[in-house]
Structure 1
Amino acid sequence: MILPKDKKAFMVSAMKSGSGKTLITLGLINIFKRKGKTVSIYKTGPDYIDTMYHEKIAGSPSTNLDPFFLEPEYRPGELKNLFFRNFTGDMAIIEGAMGLFDGVYGEGKRCSACIVSEEIGIDAILVVDIDEIDTVGEYLKKFSHRVKTVIVNKVPIDYDISVIRERLSESDLTLMGFLYYNENYHMESRHLGLNEPGKDIFKIVDKLSDELSKTLDFKLFEKFTLNIDCNIPSYKAKDVTLNNIMSKYRLAFAFDEAFSFTYNENIKVLEEYGFEIVKFSPLHDKNLPKNISAIWLSGGYPELYTNELSSNFSMLESIAKAKDIPIIAECGGFIYLHKNFEDNNGESFRGVGLIDGKAFKTKKLVRFGYIEIEAKSDSVLMKKNQKIRSHEFHYFDSTNNGEYAHALKANKSKEWDCINAYKNIFAGFPHIYLRGYEFLIENLIEYLERKSNV
């Protein structure tokens, strides 16, 4: 198929983290919504929180386009297909993770935002601070790229804008717009990125959109036209019916303030395979949903809700007694399953107790980054020698990280054992991504089928 010529798509990137990409992206989403456009939103990399902000402002889901999980050389065409399958609006805006060329450490621009723009075939707008404009040209010389325009952030109110245009033109770059410095255009950071979005985000973004609308050259957006011949396969789950089990299984999926880190694609994959997703709250609900076949405890911030989680005794007991159904837990969910887990101050609290150990706070990121995991034996989710790509991003560690699988950093610089997998449990710090790894769900269904036939 060839997309209509009035479809627009572009990326918002930067030279480094903290340059205001997320705020500018939210402002652009809001501006084009005001113009009556429907916007499809994306984020490169394994980010959870920025996508929450996207969804708050856009009022529609945001899709992760991860260049490691679906690396073009590893899963040919899948990254592009994922982009087009979720392109349902008039315009697509992709926010790049970190800097434009930041990806797997020590391996050039591999798995960077730049790779995503090249794979899809779209240009990127570079967001730079005013004190970076003299270094943009040199930065872009490092690798090939698709950057022609720049939005300058934190411009002093009395700055001569013609000077910015002149300096950018020396690098064959065009000023698309700028934002005057305003201390109110700021979102507090937290140890895992930005805070989850609160009600004040709408006021901040509305004000920012008003200011940005005055400086943007909207004619330049006409150049971001998509006219790409892309054969998009309609996805059909492999052998999805498996003994006519469609909609036979109900999966209790943890989702609340403490457990909110999951990929929208994960839910889609589970539903494509016939699972009925039943969301529940370990924070607020007293018991698990009824008639469930499996439990999924996603990542999040359980350390910020230790009092509430540990005092919800009926939920702790409900999960602890669910010994006959698969329990899958990633990162924050894994922390919650421990006998004890700490808060950010190092105070210990009671957990579910299915992991014999303690999850504790450290002072730095632990085993941070992209990894490949290989299973050493069969489990509810993986079979021996099967491999998946994943990532870890946490300040917590455990006295019992598990030895079920072996993890290897993407750049092969480090390796370690991880994940507790025994009987009905599959739990560890690595985050799970299902698109491209649908065999994980096929394994889960096979486990459930065997169990139902016993």
Structure 2
Amino acid sequence: MIAAAGSGSGKTTVTTALLKAFLLEGKNVAAYKCGPDYIDPMFHSEVIKIPSRNIDTFILGENNVKYVVGKNSLSMDISVVEGVMGYYDGTGIGTNGSSYEIARLLGCPVVLVLNCEGMAISVCAVIEGFKNFREESNIKGVILNNISEGMYRYYKNIIETNIQVKVYGYMNRLDDCKLESRHLGLVTAQEIGNLQSIVNTLGENASRTIDIKGLNELAQTAPVIEYEDPVIERKDEVNIGIAYDKSFCFYYRDSLEVLEKMGANLIYFSPMSDKKLPDNLSGLIFGGGYPELYMDDLSNNKSMLEDIKEKISSGIPTFAECGGYMYLLDSFKEDGNEYELAGVCEGQSYMTNRLNNFGYVTLTADKDNLMCKKGDKINGHEFHYSTSTNLGDAFTATKPESEKTWKCIVADDTKFMGYPHLHFLGNIDFARNFMETAISYQKGHIK
């Protein structure tokens, strides 16, 4: 695991560099991201050319975290896990859901990415503090970030003289290789035109300045992961349309694979550029993303908007979260401009200057709906600067380790639309209910 003292340390840059460096060594590499973030795994996937997967104990549960890593690492030479926030940061004031908890669950060794700027021997106190803050911290080494070769030799001598931690190398300050950010974190991988050039530079640099062989040897000390396969019942085959383009690109690969294992044929379409929905669909899924950046394209594609509204009005089962939910509202307003959208659901979304209901949530259904029965629960998360005039009232959201609650989700027998992001592996019954309704629609039982 590549972890850090806090956000903004360069975890993603170092992880990306290491993934490429391992590939240059001829290794088969798997990548994982602690927590619910969508964007970091996109960078991993661009490097290793296979899906990077999210592992999150709050959303998935412990066994499913082990299942995701265990099954996808079987044929790999090495697996690299990128941590989230600071190593010990979890829900509320504790470590639940933290990178630390996941490292303990998997039994994997941990290497801290550390920025030494403004410190001398105090860097040893920082490392010792992290190493000894909890039992079985699993912290075995450090990588020093944004320093020169000369300063690296200085810090390496200080650290290895004073404490029992191995220094595995360093990363130079590479200003041309910075991964840009915006309000939801880093920009997406597909928005960076010279990404492959950046990845190549990072990987070649890491091969020179980081002990890749030593990290590979460290990784081999991790134990075999034991897990139980989740029970995913095969259903009839149905075609499910997945909105996917620059506007809608936030999907968990393992969540979609639950649908595939149940019999779904996933058919991707672009709300930005396709003129209508694919033929013969029995369900629709609209993920999150950055629709606010592409409102001209989305709003001007009238034939697609009309087709979507017609199909959803006809009863096709529809699941939409965050950006996908925004797209299905009447409109979006920004800087005095109003963009007409699908109009499946009453309401208008707009941007604010702060995160709204940010973080993990537990959703409890207040009525029967497409995805579940009244009283059923699922864990998810919210991460959005926009809000809307119609947040819905089909569910009650509760913050973990908090008394804060609010109403959310527009839902009925064929629709589920709202801001929270869900993961079907975290509640397989939700996926099963969606699939069963899609099968009924395919058979003509829903009009």
TM range (shorter): over 0.9
Query: 1:22 Cα deviation (Å)?
Result: 0.7
Provide the rounded CA distance (Å) in 2 between the counterparts of 1:208 and 1:302: 30
Query: 1:212 Cα deviation (Å)?
Result: 2.1
Residues 311-350 of structure 1 aligned to structure 2 (within 5 Å): 311-322=300-311, 323=313, 324-343=315-334, 345=335, 347-350=337-340
Match of 1:93 among 80, 88, 95: 80
Q: Which residue of 1 aligns with 2:268?
A: 279
Q: Which residue of 2 aligns with 1:8?
A: none
Provide the rounded CA distance (Å) in 2 between the counterparts of 1:217 and 1:237: 41
Provide the rounded CA distance (Å) in 2 between the counterparts of 1:275 and 1:139: 45
8 Å Cα contact 2:22/2:212 also seen in 1: no
What is the letter of the counterpart of residue 211 of structure 2?
D
Residues 129-168 of structure 1 aligned to structure 2 (within 5 Å): 129-131=115-117, 133-134=123-124, 135-144=126-135, 145-156=137-148, 158-159=150-151, 161-167=153-159
Match of 2:204 among 195, 198, 210: 210
Match of 1:442 among 432, 437, 440: 432
Q: Which residue of 1 aligns with 2:193?
A: 199
Does residue 103 in structure 1 map to residue 97 in structure 2? no
> Percent of aligned pairs with the same residue?
33
Q: Which residue of 1 aligns with 2:280?
A: 291
What is the letter of the counterpart of residue 102 of structure 1?
D
8 Å Cα contact 1:165/1:174 also seen in 2: no
What is the letter of the counterpart of residue 56 of structure 1?
E
Match of 1:174 among 159, 166, 180: 166
Match of 2:56 among 66, 69, 72: 66
**SS in structure 2 at match of 1:177:** strand
**SS in structure 2 at match of 1:435:** helix
8 Å Cα contact 1:85/1:232 also seen in 2: no
**SS in structure 2 at match of 1:260:** strand
Q: How many residues align?
A: 432
Pick which of 81-90 and 52-61 moved more.
81-90
Does residue 417 in structure 1 map to residue 407 in structure 2? yes
8 Å Cα contact 1:109/1:143 also seen in 2: no
Does residue 14 in structure 1 map to residue 27 in structure 2? no
Pick which of 129-138 and 425-434 moved more.
129-138
Q: Aligned-pair RMSD on alpha carbons?
A: 1.8
Does residue 259 in structure 1 map to residue 259 in structure 2? no
**SS in structure 2 at match of 1:439:** helix
Does residue 80 in structure 1 map to residue 71 in structure 2? no
Change (3 A) 1:174 1:278: same
8 Å Cα contact 1:373/1:390 also seen in 2: yes
What is the letter of the counterpart of residue 213 of structure 1?
S
Does residue 116 in structure 1 map to residue 102 in structure 2? yes
Q: Which residue of 2 aligns with 1:393?
A: 383
Provide the rounded CA distance (Å) in 2 between the counterparts of 1:115 and 1:16: 16
Provide the rounded CA distance (Å) in 2 between the counterparts of 1:226 and 1:164: 23
Does residue 228 in structure 1 map to residue 223 in structure 2? yes
Change (3 A) 1:185 1:130: farther
Q: Which residue of 2 aligns with 1:3?
A: none
Q: Which residue of 2 aligns with 1:5?
A: none
Residues 348-367 of structure 1 aligned to structure 2 (within 5 Å): 348-367=338-357
Post-superposition CA distance 1:416-436 (Å, at most 9, x none): 110000242210000010013
Q: Which residue of 2 aligns with 1:7?
A: none
8 Å Cα contact 1:14/1:127 also seen in 2: yes
What is the letter of the counterpart of residue 376 of structure 1?
D
TM-score (norm 2): 0.92
Provide the rounded CA distance (Å) in 2 between the counterparts of 1:126 and 1:31: 18
Post-superposition CA distance 1:80-116 (Å, at most 9, x none): 122101113111001111111111121x211011111
**SS in structure 2 at match of 1:175:** strand
Provide the rounded CA distance (Å) in 1 between the counterparts of 2:213 and 2:43: 27
What is the letter of the counterpart of residue 251 of structure 2?
T
Pick which of 406-415 and 27-36 moved more.
406-415
**SS in structure 2 at match of 1:257:** coil
Provide the rounded CA distance (Å) in 2 between the counterparts of 1:216 and 1:410: 39
Provide the rounded CA distance (Å) in 1 between the counterparts of 2:48 and 2:373: 39
Match of 1:56 among 13, 23, 46: 46
Query: 1:183 Cα deviation (Å)?
Result: 2.0
8 Å Cα contact 1:125/1:147 also seen in 2: yes
Query: 1:71 Cα deviation (Å)?
Result: 3.4
Q: Which residue of 1 aligns with 2:292?
A: 303
Structure 1 unaligned segments of length 5 or more: list them.
1-10
Query: 1:129 Cα deviation (Å)?
Result: 0.7
What is the letter of the counterpart of residue 298 of structure 1?
G
Provide the rounded CA distance (Å) in 1 between the counterparts of 2:355 and 2:179: 21
Post-superposition CA distance 1:171-214 (Å, at most 9, x none): 42211101222322311111101111223122222222222222
Task: Write 1 or 2 for the structure with the bigger share of helix.
Answer: 2
What is the letter of the counterpart of residue 57 of structure 1?
V
Q: Which residue of 1 aligns with 2:179?
A: 187
Pick which of 367-376 and 134-143 moved more.
134-143
**SS in structure 1 at match of 2:372:** coil
**SS in structure 1 at match of 2:59:** coil
Change (3 A) 1:195 1:103: same
Pick which of 177-186 and 379-388 moved more.
177-186
**SS in structure 1 at match of 2:288:** coil
Query: 1:398 Cα deviation (Å)?
Result: 0.7
**SS in structure 2 at match of 1:31:** helix
Query: 1:411 Cα deviation (Å)?
Result: 1.9
Change (3 A) 1:287 1:440: same
Structure 2 unaligned segments of length 5 or more: list them.
none
**SS in structure 2 at match of 1:68:** helix
TM-score (norm 1): 0.91
Post-superposition CA distance 1:324-360 (Å, at most 9, x none): 21111000000111111134x4632111111211101
